[in-house]
Amino acid sequence: MTFASHAFPRVLETSIFRIGLDDSDKAHLGSLGFILRRYPPHAVISRQGDGEDRIFVIHSGWSCISTDLADGERQILDFPQKGEFVASRAFEGEAPESFTAQTELMVFEAPAKAFVAGLAHSPSLAGVLLGAVARQRAILVQHLTNLGRRSALIRTAHLLLELGVRLEKANAAKKYGFECPLTQYDLADALGLTAIHVNRMLRELRERGYLEFRHGSVHFLNREGLEHFAEFDAGYLRLPGET
Amino acid sequence: MTFASHAFPRVLETSIFRIGLDDSDKAHLGSLGFILRRYPPHAVISRQGDGEDRIFVIHSGWSCISTDLADGERQILDFPQKGEFVASRAFEGEAPESFTAQTELMVFEAPAKAFVAGLAHSPSLAGVLLGAVARQRAILVQHLTNLGRRSALIRTAHLLLELGVRLEKANAAKKYGFECPLTQYDLADALGLTAIHVNRMLRELRERGYLEFRHGSVHFLNREGLEHFAEFDAGYLRLPGET
DNA sequence: ATCGGTTCTTAACTTAGATTAATGGCGGCC
DNA sequence: GGCCGCCATTAATCTAAGTTAAGAACCGAT
């Protein structure tokens, strides 16, 4: 009994894999070789172009998945949260994305090969994985829509609302908001803006009485109003099978 | 022997599913109930919010996948091409995206349930599906990066280069370019720009000697130069297993 | 306690892309 | 043939967001 075999089932309870698996599936998941690892802040866990063959389940801490551009800029694709899984292109081929820790980060890791091979023995696990992949896709699609067709102000609000809901689903939010160690530069790289403009947008949201983002935590002041203003509908964050 | 059972194997030869399947897998695929259907231009095949349970493989024609915004605008997510598959959220739950024909469109359709159930009996098909899903994700990720961090000019070039490569892989490109029935409004909705600005960007690309887009066809004049200018690297369009 | 780095904040100015408006081409249809 | 609707094209103007610059607040390290 390693540390991992203790902690892993516990994380599953609030994870993306919590729905649709019976005990034997979960036992099976536990046998796929997930081990718990720790990365320090700013550690690059996998770099764009690597031949990557691990899959990850977040245990705690913040990280980001990003593409790196030629001129040194980056586009952040997502901030995966506790219980969510990361497998940029683990299902074969080189990783077109980087995975970087932002705070101290604890993740469960397993070799992708073992994981994929394991799917053949557990149809319900395969189904749950497809559901999780579909949810990731929906998140990416909303992000893309944000960048393409929404104003900077709404875009910023939308991202913070989304993170709020995802953290709630992972039981990692507070009643009024959530802890968020992201800098305004991080937000800018996710939102396709400059950090200066993000600062303006946060001020605007504060002045309009929607939310405060100070000292590393987001505090919703008028969440319902904000959701309406940002045309935010959390439906896309629901897991298949979740009510 | 229906029409479909004739045409379907033939399309597979140039499709996303061409690699990694042996004859028995292909026979299995053929038994999943794919039928060939025709949709007229502008037909809405599935609408955002539908409980959707079909999956599609494009046979011929152009279509788009999009999200519809409250104010009547839309963000086009992708233009799926011959041999590629479409299954917005078919793996359970409601479709957060619309699927619309742009020209006359021929597609193979099958019930998602039968397809997903079939995966359990064919591990290699499941693996190939995961690969196809990973490629779709990579396309989406490039699109997102385009919107977030690239200029309108490069963004436009990048999209046209991508479509060129995808059509070549489907054996549907000409030596110097490809037929493209998209309007500048369609491009605008994909690129997060206005049609007027797309027009300016196409003129600019023409004046710089990179490409011409006239009378429904894209003609590359200096493809290598353009790929360099647009930082375009087709690696992300490769299928796992493809050389 | 002081220094240096990182992050936040604000103001002044510039620019890429949106908006508005107008024109011409082209194909379908009565 | 002439009308109508869609699409391409261009110019003039406006605005959201970027750029540059410069402090202030905060933090850890010496």
Q: What residues in A contact B155, CB-CB < 8 Å? A: none
Pairwise CA distance, residues A63 & A166, whole Å: 14
Q: Which residue has the tokens 């011959």?
A: B82
pLDDT at residue A92 in the model:
57
Nearest neighbour of A240 by CB, restricted to B91, B126, B238: B91
**Mutate: best of A50, A124, A145, A147, partner B, most B CBs <10 A:** A145
Are the beta carbons of B148 and A94 separated by less than 8 Å? Answer: no
Distance of CA B231 to the CA centre of its chain: 21
Assess A96–B contact: CB distance below 8 Å, yes or no.
yes
Indicate if CB(B214) is under 7 A from strand D.
yes
pLDDT at residue B95 in the model:
61
Q: Which residue has the tokens 């494009």?
A: B58
pLDDT at residue B140 in the model:
96
pLDDT at residue B135 in the model:
92
Low-confidence ranges of chain B (pLDDT < 70): 1-6, 88-95, 243
Task: Name which of B49, B202, B137, B69 is nearest A151 in CA terms.
Answer: B69
**Angle (deg, nearest 10), helices B123-149 and B23-30:** 80
Nearest neighbour of B77 by CB, restricted to A70, A131, A144: A144
pLDDT digits over A135-176, tens only?
Answer: 999 999 999 999 999 999 999 999 999 999 999 999 999 989
Chain A from 31 to 70: CB within 8 A of any B CB: 67, 69-70
Pairwise CA distance, residues A87 & A106, whole Å: 16
A237 HSE (CA, 13 A, CB side): 20
pLDDT at residue A5 in the model:
55
DSSP A193: S
Q: Which nucleotides of strand D lie under 7 Å from a protein CB?
A: 6-12, 16-21
pLDDT at residue A94 in the model:
61
Diameter over CA atoms, chain A? 55
Nearest neighbour of B147 by CB, restricted to A69, A120, A144: A144
Assess A236–B contact: CB distance below 8 Å, yes or no.
yes
pLDDT digits over A63-88, tens only?
Answer: 999 999 988 899 999 999 999 999 86
Pairwise CA distance, residues B226 & B203, whole Å: 14
Q: What residues in A contact B123, CB-CB < 8 Å? A: 119-120
Tokens of A87: 């497998």
Cα distances (Å, whole numbers) of residue B183 to B75, B198, B199: 15, 10, 10
Tokens of B27: 């026979």
pLDDT at residue B1 in the model:
43
**Mutate: best of A74, A88, A92, A97, partner B, most B CBs <10 A:** A92
pLDDT at residue A126 in the model:
83
Q: Which residue has the tokens 């409004």?
A: B185
H or E segment at A56? strand A54-60
Q: Are the beta carbons of B110 and B32 closer than 8 angstroms?
A: yes
Task: Name which of A54, A76, A48 is nearest A63 in CA terms.
Answer: A76
Q: How far is the CA of A167 from the C1' of D28 (A)?
A: 30
Q: Are the beta carbons of A26 and A12 closer than 8 angstroms?
A: yes
Amino acid at A211: L
pLDDT at residue A91 in the model:
56
Measured CA to C1', the nucleotide nearest B206 is D9
As averages over each run of 10 residues, the pLDDT of chain A (243 residues) reads 60 78 76 89 87 87 95 95 85 74 95 84 83 92 98 98 96 93 98 98 98 96 97 90 74
Tokens of A72: 């040194």
pLDDT at residue B59 in the model:
94
Tokens of B226: 């353009």
Q: Are the beta carbons of A227 and B80 closer than 8 angstroms?
A: no
Q: How far is the CA of B153 from the C1' of C15 (A)?
A: 15
Residue of B nearest to A78 (CA): B141
Tokens of A233: 């509908």
Pairwise CA distance, residues A75 & A24, whole Å: 40
Residue A187 neighbours by CB under 8 Å, 6+ apart: A156, A159, A193, A195, A198
pLDDT at residue A1 in the model:
43
H or E segment at A143? helix A123-149
pLDDT at residue B164 in the model:
97
Q: Are the beta carbons of A141 and A162 closer than 8 angstroms?
A: no
Nearest neighbour of B120 by CB, restricted to A123, A136, A150: A123
Assess B74–A contact: CB distance below 8 Å, yes or no.
yes
Phi, psi of A234 (to 5 degrees): -70, 0
pLDDT at residue B5 in the model:
55
SS3 at position B212? strand
